[in-house]
Amino acid sequence: MINSDEQKLYDILNKLAIKYVRYEHEPVYTVEEADNLDIDIPGQHCKNLFLRNKKGNIHYLVIACSKKHIDLKLLSKQIASSGLSFASEERLNKYLGLKAGAVSPFGLINDMERQVIVLIDKDLTDKDTVNFHPNVNTATIGLSYADLEKFIKWHGNKFLYI
């Protein structure tokens, strides 16, 4: 069943003429749980990490290939940000309107002040289809990488390739 948060996203994607395929499944909270689903979802599965800097005044959404290891110390140096760590669930809800297990670039629709900086794994740019939760962890949607980038640009958050 599609809830109002999920429907809000689909309304935006439809308005932007972004095509997607929706797959419903049991709730999953981690990449490992998603890998164990008894459903074939084609395309590149992605992981999304919501991070903060040491002071807690800058927040980042990392979008990467699901199997890629993200070294937070190395990433801190790469983006010249001090002491990256995982942000709390309270911060996740405040900035992206999401709960743990449903972290997704589509949570940006709730970042009205465009405070979250998006860090995109450059290895995703050549993928035909990328998969994400549609702001809930009971479904996955697949869309083209170009359409993902179109969505992020439309929303207006700053983004960088890593």
CATH number at residue 99: 3.90.960.10
Q: Is the entire prediction scored with pTM above 0.85?
A: yes
Q: What averages of pLDDT result for each successive group of 10 residues across the chain (162 residues)?
A: 92 98 91 82 96 98 97 97 96 96 96 98 97 96 98 98 96
For residue 4, the tally of other CB atoms under 10 A from its CB is 6
DSSP code at position 13: H
Query: What is the signed CA dihedral for 19, 22, 28, 33, rounded to 10 degrees?
Result: -80
Q: Which strand (E) or helix (H) includes residue 154?
A: helix 145-155
Predicted pLDDT of residue 140: 96
- Residue written as token pair 């001090």: 82
Rounded CA separation 146/134 (Å) = 17
Rounded distance between C-alpha atoms, residue 95 and residue 91, angstroms: 6
The pLDDT value given to residue 29: 83
User: Can you tell me the distance from the alpha carbon of 100 to that of 9, in angstroms, rounded to the nearest whole number?
Assistant: 18
23, 142 contact by CB (below 8 A): yes
Q: In angstroms, how far is the first alpha carbon of the chain from the final one?
A: 35
- How many whole angstroms separate alpha carbon 15 and alpha carbon 117? 24
The reported pLDDT for the residue numbered 145 is 98
Q: How many domains does the chain have?
A: 1
For residue 89, the enclosing domain spans 4-142+149-161
Q: Are 131 and 137 in contact (CB under 8 A)?
A: no
Look at residue 36 in the predicted model and tell me its pLDDT.
Answer: 80
Strands 139-144 and 21-24, sheet pairing: antiparallel
